Structure 1
Amino acid sequence: MSADFETLLVEKEGPILWLRLNRPDVLNAYTNQMGAELVRAIGQADADDSVKVVVLTGTGRVFCAGADVSAGAGAFDTESGEGAKNFGSRDGRRENSDFVAAMMNSLKPLLVAYNGSAAGVGLTLTLPCDIRIAADNAKFGCVFTRRGLVPEAGSAWFLPRLVGLSTALKWCMTGALVPAQEALAAGLVSEVVPADQVEARARELALEIAANCSPVALALTRRMLWHFSAQEGPKGALSVDAALNIALGAKGDVHEGVAAFLEKRAPQFPLTVSGDLPDMPWWPDNPTGYR
């Protein structure tokens, strides 16, 4: 599958689709092409019912050092055209590289295995993912203000929700690199493991999810949590969760899940994401409002 990609290594391993940022000679620096390839790979995962979990990681010694600045001082200048390879166009629209919308719309759980440090867009591109695991030597940087920029990729919305407003302000205002243990304490990552074990731990967690959880229930659950947790109260969630469980309760996945529990065996869920998702009128086509 990787033959179709230039900036990613895309590999299917059983129920896991691995997406590895693959520009190690430039510390996996982000380009618009990388964003477009992430969108395409996530779309392929959504369309493949044999893929249960997507894991995003990097090759080499860091996860992603940020945007490609090989153009020098004009690397972010989209008006002159030199920044187009980072941002996709002169007006800042990501066009086919809108990885934020692709991740938010993903029908599969998205895990991140930070094999090393992540800064700038290398960090913000992971914020719409669901579970993040970090190598113990990783550092994280919201470095935008040190480059004369503001937090991008919707991170002014994502980051405070993950780590709280006070921590988000500190990280963004200083632009300093944050060690893995501080990221763990703040809630940016859920686990910190030795660097040589980060991929193995991500695989273990992905396989646990794939072996025990209904793909349809997972797709609905991640969308419910992302959508309704941003609302002021539980009214929105209450308006759909009972109806969804009534609809699901009559279908094969719930029957199989209960039977497997009672029989003390692994479940074999019959429903597919491609064919059995109920309507979700509460989930807009572009939930981020970001283009």
Structure 2
Amino acid sequence: MSVEYADRAKSSSATGDYETLAFEVTDHIALITIDSPTNKNGFNGTMRNELIAAAQRADSDDDVRVVVLTGKGRFFCPGADLTSGGTTFDYESENNVESDQAEPVQLVDGFRRDGGGQVSLAFAALRKPIITAYNGAAVGVGATFTLPTDIRIASSEAKFGFVFVRRGLVPEAASSWFLPRIVGVSRALDWSYTGRVFGVDEALAAGLISRIVEPENLLDTALEMARDIVANASAVSLGATRQLLWGMLTADSPWEAHRVDSRTVYELGQQSDVAEGVESFLEKRAASFSLTVPQDYPDFIPSFPDKDRID
């Protein structure tokens, strides 16, 4: 954590009781930091539960306008915690990676839900922008559960890998939907077929990340991006924009987008944030937006993902 942010964090909201991460809110930015040194930030059932809880907490907090996700230490998340050996992914075993699954066990089509996918969809459902700052290796589920985040930047020391075929598995965390849309299907298949670990230059060229930053500047860069969004954008507009752009990836035609756009412009046009945005521009001053997502978000905008299709 930068010295500047650490100083301000003294007055931030409580971090909560987490074992694998830290959560703090300062200046309308929720900073989620993966911090599980005992297993080098390896993904397990506890981390799954806590990442979902952190996403839901950020979404429901009036004070949060932007979320920043990062890791502490050498790794962002190097994948699943493999300390259980060969039974790591055997959900009929008591020693699998999600053995501490909260009860009752959640099912989809009669099968136990993939934990990485539960995290991905929790992030996808957020009505607030998410910036991921990869401080180190993001491999396996450590790469896939971040795909629904909006802006991804990386330390020059970060690495990525979709290594599932080398473990006898398939890409999970709904990445078969997200990854081809982000980098194209040919690149997604290249990474998935080979299972090779690759560096930030390849990730940048493919569009998996948008910026490479020196390690000592990574968090400050992510927070500065978040502060710029907070200072200049309406929280309600941000949430609606996020859900529309992700959600319309499944639209059958631009007419579906036009239908939702038309109502959204009509409804938001009557809200105080729009009046403030226009008046502040005309008066050449900074805008002061007052509406919040939990209180004022328009409920007619389709949620992405559609929760009725998941639970």
- TM-score band, normalised by shorter chain: over 0.9
**Secondary structure of the structure 2 residue equivalent to 1:34:** helix
Aligned-residue CA RMSD (Å): 2.1
| Alignment of 1:133 onto 2:153 | yes
Q: State the TM-score, normalizing by the size of structure 1.
A: 0.94
1:157-183 CA distances to partner (integer Å, 9 max, x unpaired)? 100000000100000000001210111
Counterpart residue identity of residue 252, structure 1: S
Counterparts of 1:116 and 1:288, CA distance in 2: 35
Q: Return 5+ residue gaps in structure 1 as ranges.
A: none
Residue 263 of structure 1: how far off its partner (Å): 2.2
Residue 48 of structure 1: how far off its partner (Å): 1.2
Counterparts of 1:97 and 1:144, CA distance in 2: 14
| Alignment of 1:81 onto 2:94 | yes
Counterparts of 1:186 and 1:5, CA distance in 2: 34
What number of residue pairs does the alignment pair up? Answer: 291
**Aligned in 2, Cα 1:281/1:207: closer, same or farther, shift over 3 Å?**
closer
Partner of residue 46, structure 1: 59
Contact conserved, 1:42 with 1:102, CA < 8 A, in 2?
yes
Residue 116 of structure 1: how far off its partner (Å): 0.9
Partner of residue 296, structure 2: 276
Partner of residue 24, structure 2: 11
Counterpart residue identity of residue 29, structure 1: G
Partner of residue 65, structure 1: 78
Counterpart residue identity of residue 34, structure 1: M
Partner of residue 230, structure 1: 250
Within a 5 Å distance, the mapping from 1:1-291 to structure 2 comes to 1-83=14-96, 85=98, 88=101, 91-94=111-114, 98-280=118-300, 282-283=302-303, 286=306, 289-290=309-310
Counterpart residue identity of residue 139, structure 1: K
1:179-229 CA distances to partner (integer Å, 9 max, x unpaired)? 101111101111111111110110000000011000001111100011102
Counterparts of 1:121 and 1:190, CA distance in 2: 20
Q: State the TM-score, normalizing by the size of structure 2.
A: 0.88
Q: Return 5+ residue gaps in structure 2 as ranges.
A: 1-13
Counterpart residue identity of residue 36, structure 2: R
**Aligned in 2, Cα 1:232/1:183: closer, same or farther, shift over 3 Å?**
farther
Counterpart residue identity of residue 30, structure 1: F
**Aligned in 2, Cα 1:190/1:110: closer, same or farther, shift over 3 Å?**
same
Identity across matched positions, percent: 45
**Secondary structure of the structure 1 residue equivalent to 2:75:** coil
